[in-house]
Chain A
Amino acid sequence: MAKKPISFVLNGQDTSVFVEQGGNLLDELRRTVGDLSPKFGCGQGTCGACTVLINGEPQLSCLVLAERVEGQRIDTNGGLAEGPDLHPLQKAFVEGFAAQCGFCSSGMLMAAKALLDRNASPSRDEIAEAISGNLCRCTGYEPIIDAIVVAAENMRRRTT
């Protein structure tokens, strides 16, 4: 089957690749583009480890056809840090022990980023709702929610 050329903006950079027709975005990001930060946990849209932002909205990249992202803006955890400086969310995850094996972290961070981008001071319930599509098997959700609360505080302090 002929591959299809597509272009999109990945973490602020113009990206053009040939993708398998019918291939999913997760596979193409990982194997073709080489951004390995989204993970394959289930391939069925249940675990959230492959969460990326498409035009700012959290999406499960294992369920998105790669051809559909033509011209869209995609953000992954691979582009979250600014060079050597961790994003406040990443920093809070480190300091709050919100990652153990690290397999869910990339998806969890992107779901949290989407939340903080539209709501700078979410309640714990809103955070729980926002990460409800992301499973974690090691850390448990409390340290993750705590870290997102801390990150939100730090980001508000930084902007005011």
Chain B
Amino acid sequence: MSRVEFRKDLFADERSDDLNEVGKPTIRQDIIGHVRGTTRFYDDHLFDGLLHMRCVRSPHHHARIRNINVSGAESMPGVRRIVMPSDVPNNLNTLLSLIGFGRDDEPLLSSAKVAYKGEPVCAVIADTERQARDAVAAIKVDWEVLPHVLDVEQAIQPDAPVVNETYPNNLFDYGRFDHQKLRFGDVHSAMQRADKIVEGQYQMSPIEQAPMETCGAIAAPETNERIVCHTATQALFFSLGTTAKLLDVPSSRLHFIGGTVGGGFGGKVDSITEPMAVLGALLTGKPVKFHWDREEEMQVGAPRGAERWVIRDGVMNDGSIIAREFTGYFDCGAYTRLSSYAIQKGVGHLPGPYTIPNVAANVYCVYTNRTPATAMRGFGITGVDFAIESHMDKVAEAVGMNPIELRIHNAYRDGDMKAHRRVAKNTALIECCQVAAQKSNWQLGPQYASASSLRDGGSTERAAIPETAVDMVGKIGERRSSSIAASPAQGTERVPAGQASELLSPLPLQHADMQIEPSRVGHTVKATAPLANAAGAPPPAATAHRETTQPPATQVSTPVSQQSPVSPPESLPASSTGSYQQPPRDQPAASPPEAPAVKPYEPQERFNKGMNRPGAARHLINRRRR
């Protein structure tokens, strides 16, 4: 008996199981407070002697901090405390470290350099907000302005400034790859079969969530040595864990109260105001409020990041899309926040709600000197959906087809295999298209008007995972030979992806389907042998991993992959290991534009998922609970 049934059994007379609420209007449980004005948002908690905290922020996109002069501000009326980066016990974090994803890359207050306009370098706590503002204005920072980069494709050129020393190639590191990869079937040969190739590029700008209530938090010492924190966060325990890590305090000392949010839309998950307010309360022993004014909300509040997508389709004359490949650039701004995760989510969504037998994607999470990006409604999906649907119209035009009929023709149906290797269920694109056509008086041919998501899906062909090249650890990537016998019928050395495999020796790239847009991805492919070599006996570089062949972006910040190249399995023949340690070529002769005074973050060992790694707070457990 399941737990739910058990409860139903015991409390049968107390609990109505009439839960059929879908489709019926229901009054919000909190709306009475909203219309009476009695709902308590975080700022509606009054404290005697509340102090106000404000940050000194960078006016530059990218600058080194030579010196911070606080002597004038310290003696100003009402100033209680100047908060410096050294006051933050564990001043490096990445939001997703709480789930063991990514390296710590962002300080709460920057001490060495700033990488986006508005990045905080120190803070003032004063009796009134006005006194805090005056003191902030009196703090003099000596900036050494550095060259900045604001465009994703410029940021991955070899001579681009290093935005974030933790990721010196300006690219997030997805395990062995510097991009998130998706491979399903064989895009290259399908493109050769296609009647038409349709290519398009799509771009969206950052979008600010702009909630009515700006981000903020009030922290105050409680009587039991704990700190209470009233916050506008959308992610209470996320904020609590982040605060505990940054401030190196046990989470049991933190009493977080939230849940009442004056609009969030994704912009209130970044957990910046809570550690600041709690730090203020710890340093002063008084209630401290840290909130963003509207200008800060718009300038430093993390938006939905900009995205650029290049989509290339192989289309038959009847409108069937037989291959689709993506190159995506996510502008994650100066720090990772949630962008790396948004990309994984977005790539799981490819190729959109369509059944396309051959799909490939390389998606780059690029650091630029823009405001760090974070979640916003449907994040990771909205941008690429805009690109996909714009591209569908372009395909319809190219093949001279009604765009809604083209969508229905290619729509996924129940039982079809999606590119991320899950069977599609409860699909409804066809029905959506039919309703949209009806509402807009758009004529559909009879076979499209009568199509259904419930029919014609899941045939052997549509439900199959096509043979897909995998790399030596069985991941989808570059082509390797395998110890697993390939299906004799196929007569190739390729195996279906998703099978556990012991892949042994690297094979030359047989053709170009693993490389998308090589001319546009800057130094990450520059050192790879040209594709022309791939057909014949290639030089070792032809099989080298892209990320191991990058030249170091600067002299002081060697790419992580150079320090600890991907080790091939022990069983790998010695002769083939050379291809993994291709020495850097095309090293920039000129001196790099910057020479950081502070040693960049250098992990002692290759990053692994999980908490057991340098930079993780001591109080965090090293193991996942079972």
- Which residues of A are at the interface with B, using a C-beta cutoff of 8 A? 20, 30-31, 34, 36-44, 46-47, 49, 76-78, 80-81, 86, 90, 93-95, 97, 99-106, 109, 135-138
Contact = CB atoms under 8 A, between A and B. Distances in A.
B612 to A, nearest CB: 40
A49 B264 CA distance: 16
A37 B41 CA distance: 10
Interface in B240-286: 261-265
B34 A102 contact: yes
Nearest to B297: A42
A137 B263 contact: yes
11 contacts: A39-B43, A39-B212, A39-B213, A41-B213, A86-B35, A101-B34, A101-B212, A105-B37, A135-B212, A137-B210, A137-B212
A99 B37 contact: no
B37 to A, nearest CB: 3
Interface of B: 25, 27-28, 30-41, 43-44, 46, 128, 210-214, 261-265, 293-294
Contacts of A20: 128
B30 to A, nearest CB: 7
B25 A77 contact: no
Given A41-B214, A42-B294, A137-B211, A103 B35 contact: no
Contacts of B263: 101, 103, 137-138
Contacts of A47: 212, 294
A153 B108 CA distance: 53
Nearest to A137: B263
Nearest to A77: B37
Contact of A99 (B35, B38, B44): B35
Contact of B36 (A42, A77, A135): A77
Nearest to B30: A102
A145 to B, nearest CB: 16
B264 to A, nearest CB: 8
Given A41-B214, A90-B36, A104-B212, A34 B41 contact: no
Contact of A90 (B35, B41, B212): B35
B563 to A, nearest CB: 46
A42 B298 CA distance: 11
Q: Top 9 A-B pairs ranked by shortest CB distance?
A: A102-B34, A37-B37, A103-B262, A42-B294, A77-B37, A90-B35, A103-B212, A106-B37, A36-B44
Nearest to A95: B27
B21 to A, nearest CB: 15
Contacts of A80: 36-37
Nearest to B37: A37
Given A31-B46, A36-B44, A103 B38 contact: no
Given A94-B27, A94-B31, A138-B263, A37 B212 contact: no
Contacts, number: 101
A86 B212 contact: no
B41 A103 contact: yes
> Max chain A CB contacts within 10 Å: which of B39, B40, B214, B261?
B39
Contacts of A36: 37-38, 40, 44, 46
Nearest to B291: A40
A44 B214 CA distance: 13
Nearest to A37: B37
Contacts of A97: 25, 28, 31
Contact of A39 (B25, B33, B41): B41
Contacts of B35: 77, 86, 90, 93-94, 99, 102, 105, 109
B214 A102 contact: no
Contacts of B212: 39, 41, 47, 49, 101, 103-104, 135-137
B44 A102 contact: no
Contacts of B262: 39, 41, 101-103
A41 B39 contact: no
Given A94-B27, A99-B34, 16 more contacts: A37-B38, A40-B214, A41-B214, A76-B37, A78-B38, A80-B36, A86-B35, A90-B36, A99-B35, A102-B34, A102-B262, A105-B34, A105-B35, A135-B212, A137-B211, A137-B263
Nearest to B210: A137
A101 B294 contact: no
Contacts of B40: 36
Nearest to A108: B35
Contacts of A77: 35-37
Contact of B37 (A40, A42, A78): A78
Nearest to B26: A97
A89 to B, nearest CB: 8
A36 B45 CA distance: 9
A36 B43 CA distance: 9
A101 B44 CA distance: 14
Nearest to B209: A137
> Max chain A CB contacts within 10 Å: which of B36, B41, B44, B212?
B212
Contacts of A38: 37
A94 B43 CA distance: 23
Contacts of B46: 31, 34, 36
A101 B212 CA distance: 9
Contacts of B213: 39, 41, 101, 103
Given A97-B28, A101-B261, A103-B263, A44 B294 contact: yes
Contacts of A136: 212
A68 to B, nearest CB: 18
B45 to A, nearest CB: 9
Contacts of B265: 137
B238 to A, nearest CB: 19
A40 B407 CA distance: 46
